[in-house]
Amino acid sequence: MSKNKSSESVKVVVRLRPLNRKEESNGPAGGIVQMDLGLGQVILRNPRAPASEPQKTFTFDGVYDANSKQRDLYDESVRPLIDSVLAGFNGTIFAYGQTGTGKTYTMQGAWMDPEKRGVIPNAFDHIFTHISRSQSDRQYLVRASYLEIYREEVRDLLDPNHGTARALELRERPETGVYVQDLTSCVCKSIKEIEEVMNVGNQARAVGATDMNEHSSRSHALFLITVECSQPGPDGRKHIRVGRLNLVDLAGSERQAKTGVQGERLKEAAKINLSLSALGNVISALADGRSSHVPYRDSKLTRLLQDSLGGNAKTVMVATLGPAPQHYDETLTTLRYANRAKNIQNQPRVNEDPKDALLREFQNEIARLRAQLNHRKWRSKQKKEQVEGDGDESWERDGDEETEDEDLEVEKDAEDYVKLEEQRLERETEAIRGDQFMLAEEKQRLLGEKERMMGDLRKEQEATEQLTAKYKAMESKLLVGGKNIMDHTNEQQKMLEMKQQEITEQTRREREMHQQMLAQDEETLELRETFTSLQQEVEAKTKKLKKLYAKLQCIKAEIQDVNDEHVRSRQELEQTQNELTRELKFKYLIIENFIPPEEKNKIMNRLTFDTEEDQWKFQPLVPAESKSSQMKKRPSSAVGYKRPITQYARVAIAMGALSRYRAENIMFLELDMTPPNAASLDRWTEAEPNQSSSVDSSPTKDRGVHKSRSWCQNPKSIPSSSSNVSLSACHTAAAAAQ
Ligand code: ADP
Ligand code: MG
């Protein structure tokens, strides 16, 4: 198998959206973007600049104007990438641009209209058509996941509890790179199934967002498809190749106003474009080629796309533009961004036999189930033959040699055996029932035995059925190539597509050559020129000088632009920083003035920063190891019980009486039956001398402090915890209390 270790650059194509009705009615005629499809150039006019100012020109791997068809973009720029994914490469397509310029239209399009279906549905078609047409010795497993990144949180769009579920975490494995932990992944067997997955995710996205437009322009949506293919290699063993495809619809690239917001909104504002600006920084660092540090870890998006930018993947970026003059700045920024991305070099390679291939697990599991099932069925068959009295075959044969017919025969035999066995057992049961000479007890016993045998038989049958169902479900998940290989129309279709592919390839090459020629032209012109007179030479050189001067002006303007942009973004960052500092001061104020210093220190000592999750976390109060040893040791009074219990409960358990109080920590106290001994003030005593005798009897009278008598009772009247108090005494006390 070929292993391509050479590097290749990120492919960048630009797509222009047509003017919409509103723009048509209020803007000056036409847009500010022109395209040269043959050369792959975008020419941008500054609506505010004087006509003499030169226009800005950018060259890309492909440009698509307002009249371009979804299909053209797919066939020319995406198809080769999907083919690579099917061959085991990683691939990424991401749409970048201002909100409303057609990112979602390009990625998804209008599903119902075949003409307007975007990259994602076309890719579904492509993948499953490829599988159905491939050779029959190949097995495929296709999985899909769908997630979004909103406010720097990764959310699983296929999780039924999407709205309430916790944000997912990113993890890294040396072999597969960065992945999302616990992300739902659905095995898809057909275009319909994978479309359903997409729909479910889109609905979750719409439900999660109160204002869909706002939400979709602020969140990144990633649809991930993994295609695993197993194919026998020259060594006779099955080899698995895994292609991973990321289809990314990014958040709108326009600058969000971050100033003047507070609290939650500030936090959100700080996070909205964090991923996007981190993406910009990553692209700059990679395009620059000199910076040793690429800030992938700055955001979730860049971490997830780490392989797609400068790593093991083939990547296509679709930059979308709007034609309206009022968006000149944004359009220019998008073009600059896209222009920079062209310089990123990736090192794609085929992922062959990775350890975590799910297909391998599936194959092993299917083989295991098949062996189990065969064993069961052959056993049943054998028994049937024994019942019929002609069995000498063994079930142990090479599983691979079995034909489907044989399988069916075994299955039929097994079913026959179960039926025969059932009939036999029923017959025997009847016979036992009818036997009048048998003892009743003996009869009962035999009947019971037969009943049990019948039960066993049914259980076995059920187990076999379950096993078969499991086996079939597992097997149906694997797609086998070559189902339609003999289909004539398909064959023709395939040829047609191949021809089309050749044509698009030809156009692409032509465009590349054109671009190269143009670049060389300027150099060779000089060499070809011979001057007959001095005058001619002066003229020619003046012309050239003018040309170069114009170029110089262009570059100067460019530098000015870049500087302006830099200043603008710095100002914005400073403003954000000021807001954050203000927020920080506010928090400090609260901490310093309202939290006791020792509490603060305690909390500070427990805090640690988790770089994986990019969050501060509390360390547990009790270290993990001491916790486990603490938990193991039970108090001696609770050995054998759920928890420590009173002596009374213990005795109650031993007596088996009063089940309500068994194992309860209830203590019985003798009820104090003396009349309430309320405090009486001296003046009352004077006013009502006839009551004085009862007051006199109070032992606390002199001090003027009155206690309930029960507090002064002799300990002997508390029976609860002394073991020698008989339970009957307690019962009387309890009865008296009720
Ligand atoms: P984004 O996802 O970039 O915010 P959308 O894809 O939602 O933008 O596009 C905004 C509008 O423009 C939609 O109504 C879409 O149908 C329309 N649109 C975008 N691109 C095209 C195109 N190439 N052709 C026709 N309509 C388009
Ligand atoms: Mg969108």
Tens digit of each residue's pLDDT (9 = 90 or more) over 199-254: 999 988 876 665 556 777 788 999 999 999 998 888 888 889 999 999 999 988 88
320 Cα: distance to centroid of ligand 1 (angstroms): 9
Whether residue 136 is predicted with pLDDT greater than 70 in this model: the reply is yes
pLDDT of residue 339: 92
pLDDT of residue 292: 80
| Mutation choice for ligand 1 from 105, 106, 254, CB with most ligand atoms inside 8 A | 105
Residue nearest to atom 1 of ligand 1 (CA): 100
Q: Which atom of ligand 1 is nearest to the CA of 16?
A: 23
Residue 192 banded pLDDT, cuts 50, 70, 90:
very high
Tokens 């016979």 locate to 431
3-class state of residue 350 by DSSP: coil
Whether residue 576 is predicted with pLDDT greater than 70 in this model: the reply is yes
| Mutation choice for ligand 1 from 17, 20, 213, 331, CB with most ligand atoms inside 8 A | 17
Whether residue 551 is predicted with pLDDT greater than 80 in this model: the reply is yes
Number of C-beta neighbours around residue 47 at 10 A: 14
Q: Which atom of ligand 1 is nearest to the CA of 213?
A: 4
pLDDT of residue 631: 58
Residue nearest to atom 17 of ligand 1 (CA): 102
Residue nearest to atom 23 of ligand 1 (CA): 17
- Please give the structure tokens belonging to residue 620: 């547990």
98 Cα: distance to centroid of ligand 2 (angstroms): 9
pLDDT of residue 318: 96
From the CB of 101, is ligand 1 less than 6 Å away?
yes
From the CB of 100, is ligand 1 less than 6 Å away?
yes
104 Cα: distance to centroid of ligand 2 (angstroms): 4
527-531, 540-544, 722-726, range with greatest mean pLDDT: 540-544
Q: Return the ∠ at Cα 534 (arms to 530 and 538), rounded to 5°.
A: 85
Torsion angles phi and psi, residue 33, rounded to 5: -110, 130
Query: Nearest ligand to the C-alpha of residue 67?
Result: 1
pLDDT of residue 660: 61
Contacts of 91 (CB under 8 A, 6+ apart): 81, 82, 84, 85, 243, 244, 245, 246, 313, 314, 315, 316
pLDDT of residue 507: 86
161 Cα: distance to centroid of ligand 2 (angstroms): 23
Q: In this structure, are residues 249 and 104 in contact, taking their beta carbons and an 8 Å threshold?
A: yes
Q: Residue ranges of the alpha helices (H) in 145-227?
A: 191-208, 212-218
Q: Which of 119-123, 266-270, 338-342, 485-489 has the lowest mean pLDDT?
A: 485-489
Q: In this structure, are residues 362 and 141 in contact, taking their beta carbons and an 8 Å threshold?
A: yes
What span, in angstroms and rounded, lies between the C-alpha atoms of 665 and 668? 10
Query: Nearest ligand to the C-alpha of residue 97?
Result: 1
From the CB of 327, is ligand 1 less than 6 Å away?
no
The structure's pTM equals 0.70
Q: Which atom of ligand 1 is nearest to the CA of 20?
A: 12
What span, in angstroms and rounded, lies between the C-alpha atoms of 460 and 457? 5
Residue 705 banded pLDDT, cuts 50, 70, 90:
very low
Contacts of 110 (CB under 8 A, 6+ apart): 116, 117
Residue nearest to atom 5 of ligand 1 (CA): 102
Torsion angles phi and psi, residue 232, rounded to 5: -70, 135
- Please give the structure tokens belonging to residue 351: 């992922």
Q: In this structure, are residues 418 and 376 in contact, taking their beta carbons and an 8 Å threshold?
A: no
Q: Which of 26-30, 74-78, 409-413, 457-461 has the lowest mean pLDDT?
A: 26-30
Q: Which atom of ligand 1 is nearest to the CA of 107?
A: 6
pLDDT, tens digit (0-9, with 9 covering 90-100), for 485-520:
445 566 777 788 888 888 888 888 888 888 888 888
Whether residue 389 is predicted with pLDDT greater than 70 in this model: the reply is no
What span, in angstroms and rounded, lies between the C-alpha atoms of 568 and 429? 94
Q: Which of 103-107, 291-295, 585-589 has the lowest mean pLDDT?
A: 291-295
Whether residue 708 is predicted with pLDDT greater than 50 in this model: the reply is no
